[in-house]
Amino acid sequence: MRFIHELSGKVISCNLTWLALATGFLVVLIGSNTVRSESNFRTEVKIGADRLSLPVQKPTPIPGLPKTGIYGVRIDRSTPAVNECERIFDSIGLNSYAQIEGVDFTVKDDFLNVHPFSKMRECNVEKSGTGTVKITYTGEAGFSRVKDTFIEIPLFYMNRYFKGKFDYRLISAEQKPGFFPAPMFVENGKVLNRVYVAVYETSVVDGVARSITGVIADSCRTINDYRQLYYLKGAGFCAMDARTIMSLQHLFLVRFANKNSQVTIGDGFVELRQPEITMENAGATTNRVIIKESAKTADVYWFVGQNVAFTKKGLLVETARLLRIEKGVPLTGRNAFTIDKTLFLDRSWKFGSAAQNTGYCDMLTHDCGRSRQNSMGKSGTDHCGVKLFGMENLWGNAWCRVDGLVVKSLVAYVGNDVTAYNNNAAGYMPLKFRCLAMSDNGTVGDNHARIVNLGIDDANPWFALADSFGHDDFPVTGKSGYGDFYYLYDKTRNMHFTQGGGFDHYDRSGLFLMRGWNSDSSVWYLYGSRMQFKILD
């Protein structure tokens, strides 16, 4: 593959990934306030056996220029504890907001007029036995959130590069010099016009994977289990993958000009108890569970209506709904919980929280925001659903298994075909980006593992894992910078990622949290999945 610059006559050879589209013009800066564009700049792309992306050309933001159709931010990598990013190009002067359920929401969100946000639509996706796909949009006859519900995201173009101390994040509705289709839209070399991402975390009802409201988010399955569930729904259904997650992260940064998703939207369903608590009345058949715990602790972790779990050796064996909390019962230092079913409390079981039901954000009228707080909690936003671009709980609640990304010996391998994802990265492309190891899970309450900055792979600039994380001499807190933790177990076996942080994780959670801690066979009560759908034929 080669790129021919007609102005210089130079042929630039590149090993490119993902995309086979390029057009361009050269932007030349004159003085401090004028730009001149040269139209006789041609980019020639020849597709060989290697995969494709675009060369990175680096426009410079200048306030006061005519509209460019480019929206973006630049992130100062030298001040990682700062949340805010600088808006550039057409984003200058624009603002976006998160709605809080129960609070009047009358402000104008400027980005609802910006592509792709302006054309994201909630819809039902149904596929018949013959393969026919039916899309029903909200407001149309037959739409219901008890049918599989997705957000339709239209194709957009992005650019990302480092220049000086800045990380530039740009989007456009059209392909401009240096821009490439966001990776979520590229399947095995083909660029899709739209992708459908599930509104809700995956639930499993009668053995079928669903994205519907009012049911408990599923967990405790392997990545293969989820692949099989989606395969049975028909061609195009698949697990959310690294390409989609990193595309959404990019959109978040551009829209909110803030690195911290929990500060911007809300903490989500976090600061709940891991189901590893010994029951004082184990061995009884009852609808009441008694545990050793202070009344103050109960205020922080529990609320009526919460889903609770019973586990055995890390595996989920039963869930229930919490109907009543009695603090200091039957005596001081004990709390009693009445649940919605009678169970034999096996002595080998442990008790605690579970993933919560889908649908907490259904009452929101805006595409971004959070539901009401369900209890006192710790922060005031940590027992609620969160909504980003119409999608619920992209952090908090159940962790989301990430498909299409495997790390071996600290080398990241990325797949480009959702129909060919596998556990061993067969057919995946190794990236030049070198992953960092962070295998200390013993002191995760400290700030040493929080993301400081996100790195870049030069051939695949959309790829963004931590290239530095905090330490004792340079702490980043949950409310400063990205705020999210980064994990990567540094053994040579294949490592798979989960994303977002779970209901146990509090301010270590967030949109950018990536946990490379799992083999393909690992299961846990915290790990779930999210579905997406792509029209591949």
pLDDT digits (tens, 9 = 90+) for 388-413: 999 999 999 999 999 999 999 999 99
Considering only CA atoms, give the Rg of the chain: 24
Mean residue pLDDT across the chain: 86
Tell me how far apart the alpha carbons of residues 18 and 3 are, in angstroms, rounded to a whole number: 15
**Both tokens assigned to 406:** 């495997």
CA angle (424 as vertex; 420, 429 as ends), nearest 5: 65
Q: Is the dihedral of CA 209, 213, 216, 218 positive or negative?
A: positive
Q: At 491, is the pLDDT very low, low, confident or very high (cuts 50, 70, 90)?
A: low
Which residue did the predictor score with more confidence, 22 or 145? 145
> What does the pLDDT look like over 57-68, one tens digit per residue?
444 545 556 789
Q: Is the dihedral of CA 130, 135, 140, 146 positive or negative?
A: positive
What pLDDT, on the 0 to 100 scale, is given for residue 311?
A: 97
Q: At 25, is the pLDDT very low, low, confident or very high (cuts 50, 70, 90)?
A: very low
Average pLDDT over residues 224-228: 97
> What does the pLDDT look like over 64-123, one tens digit per residue?
567 899 999 999 999 999 999 999 999 999 999 999 998 877 778 999 999 999 999 999
Average pLDDT over residues 191-199: 98
> What does the pLDDT look like over 322-370, one tens digit per residue?
999 999 999 999 999 999 999 999 999 999 999 999 999 999 999 999 9
Tell me how far apart the alpha carbons of residues 447 and 353 are, in angstroms, rounded to a whole number: 25
What pLDDT, on the 0 to 100 scale, is given for residue 66?
A: 73
Which residue did the predictor score with more confidence, 20 or 470? 470
CA angle (360 as vertex; 355, 361 as ends), nearest 5: 130
β-strands 186-187, 203-205: how paired? unpaired
Q: At 248, is the pLDDT very low, low, confident or very high (cuts 50, 70, 90)?
A: very high
Q: At 525, is the pLDDT very low, low, confident or very high (cuts 50, 70, 90)?
A: very high
What pLDDT, on the 0 to 100 scale, is given for residue 379?
A: 67
Q: How many residues does the chain have?
A: 537
Which residue is associated with the tokens 């910078």?
481
Q: Does residue 493 register a pLDDT over 80?
A: no
What pLDDT, on the 0 to 100 scale, is given for residue 192?
A: 98
What pLDDT, on the 0 to 100 scale, is given for residue 131?
A: 83
Tell me how far apart the alpha carbons of residues 92 and 206 are, in angstroms, rounded to a whole number: 49
Q: Does residue 11 register a pLDDT over 80?
A: no
- Residue 528 bridge partners (DSSP): 400
Identify whether the C-beta of residue 433 lies closer than 8 Å to the C-beta of residue 465: yes
What pLDDT, on the 0 to 100 scale, is given for residue 478?
A: 80
**Both tokens assigned to 62:** 């200048």
Query: Of 151, 236, 241, 252, which Cα lies nearest the Cα of 199?
Result: 151
What pLDDT, on the 0 to 100 scale, is given for residue 23?
A: 30
- What string of H, E and C letters represents the secondary structure of 361-385? CCCCCCCCEECCCCCCCCCCCCECC
Which range among 60-64, 259-263, 464-468, 522-526 shows the weakest confidence by mean pLDDT?
60-64
Q: Does residue 53 register a pLDDT over 70?
A: no
Which range among 40-54, 132-146, 374-388, 430-444 shows the weakest confidence by mean pLDDT?
40-54
What's the predicted TM-score (pTM) here? 0.88
